[in-house]
Amino acid sequence: MKRKKVLFVATVVKTHMMQFHIPYLKMFQEMGWETAVAARNDYEDPADCQIPYCDAYFDIPFERTPWKRENWTAYRMLKRVIDEGKYDLIHCHTPVGAMLARLAARDARKKGTKVIYTAHGFHFFRGAPLVNWLLFYPAEWLLAFATDVLITINKEDYDRARRHMHAGRIEYVPGVGIDTSKFRQISVSPSDKRRELGFREDDFLILTVAEMTRNKNHITILKALHLLKDRPEFANMHYLICGRGEVWGKLEADAKNLGITDHVHFLGYRTDAPELYRCSDLFAFMPFREGLSVALMEAMSCGMAVVCSKIRGNTDLIDDGVSGVFAENNPQAVADAILTLYRDPQRRAELGRGAAEKVKQFDNENVHQLMKNIYLSV
């Protein structure tokens, strides 16, 4: 009997496919399916690209910017993969990967291939720049007609998709899933970890785990710390930034210009994020746009107090004053929130307990079962 075949498509392997979709490749293999992945190899050493539970890998030169010339090459390569592969199911992710996959799968759909698209956060949203609506809304609206199941991971996108998109079906799944138990069970001594990092027991550690891009808006937190630097509490405040990205150099220059260099620590890409959550006092997260942040869910799973922007995705996770605190996205409001929580350890502990309880709704077990039901129904 011929094995059924599934193809996963995303723009990149390391920072998307490996982060979110290995459990689903494993799920399909356990059901007896043949699995394939089409994405750009974004490893520094291409030989490190080893995808578990993947029977066939296709290195497609996707570029994140939709109108780059390389994406025309990527489209032709992907169409050949789809036409020759005769897949029963294609699940596509990320704006460019999903756009090209749905265009390339038009002929395959006529022969019975089903196409699922997970929107990890539409680029158009309440408060988004007009250019985002002009560029991305028409494309998503049109491509919805070439989508059998459109999956959204936050309530704002789900409500908008149900009102305006014309996919075969529209589903809500609360994120990509997170193993909350793994973070609850981290056995690390916060004191030892602090010493390893060069901090004292009484230092107040503020943590952000996010790519260093303009959207993640680290600069507002830096400016908030600048507003606090003449207060006595600032003496033992330290801001830890985990991640890499295009604005790293600019943020280092900003910290220097703001006079807070000694209190800002750029840690780069880390494999010990769970331990950093455990030894830090406050998770600060002020992006302009978000789908449903995995880093925020991880911090909540570790029982961290959170101060964050009141935007789509964050509002799915945070009940203001219960599982975290919303702050207006400006330096003064963030500074006020940081100072208030600095002064009230009991309040931080209460928010941490609320966060750990709230995030259970987004656990792997629940999300994976919902996804399995969708796959089987298709």
- List pLDDT tens digits, range 201-227: 999 999 999 999 999 999 999 999 999
Domain count, the chain: 2
**pLDDT for residue 274:** 92
Domain that holds residue 156: 5-177+363-377
pLDDT, mean of residues 181-191: 85
345 plus 278 within the same structural domain? yes
277 plus 209 within the same structural domain? yes
357 plus 269 within the same structural domain? yes
**pLDDT for residue 127:** 85
128 plus 58 within the same structural domain? yes
pLDDT category, 254, cuts 50, 70, 90? very high
pLDDT category, 181, cuts 50, 70, 90? confident
157 plus 85 within the same structural domain? yes
Tens-digit pLDDT profile for residues 288-345? 999 899 999 999 999 999 999 999 999 999 999 999 999 999 999 999 999 999 999 9
Tens-digit pLDDT profile for residues 237-253? 999 999 999 999 999 99
**pLDDT for residue 327:** 98
Q: Phi/psi of residue 118, each to 5°? A: -100, 120
51 plus 125 within the same structural domain? yes
Tens-digit pLDDT profile for residues 67-102? 889 999 999 999 999 999 999 999 999 999 999 999
> What is the share, in percent, of the chain residues with pLDDT greater than 90?
89
> Mean pLDDT over all residues of the chain?
95
278 plus 254 within the same structural domain? yes
pLDDT category, 54, cuts 50, 70, 90? very high
204 plus 165 within the same structural domain? no
The amino acid at 21: H
pLDDT, mean of residues 40-59: 96
163 plus 188 within the same structural domain? no
228 plus 354 within the same structural domain? yes
DSSP assignment of 128-161, as one string?
A: --HHHHHHHHHHHHHHHTT-SEEEESSHHHHHHH
142 plus 197 within the same structural domain? no
Pick the closest to residue 150 from 177, 173, 124 (CA basis).
173
CATH at residue 282: 3.40.50.2000
pLDDT, mean of residues 346-370: 95
254 plus 341 within the same structural domain? yes
DSSP assignment of 265-281, as one string?
A: EEEES-S-HHHHHHH-S
**pLDDT for residue 183:** 85
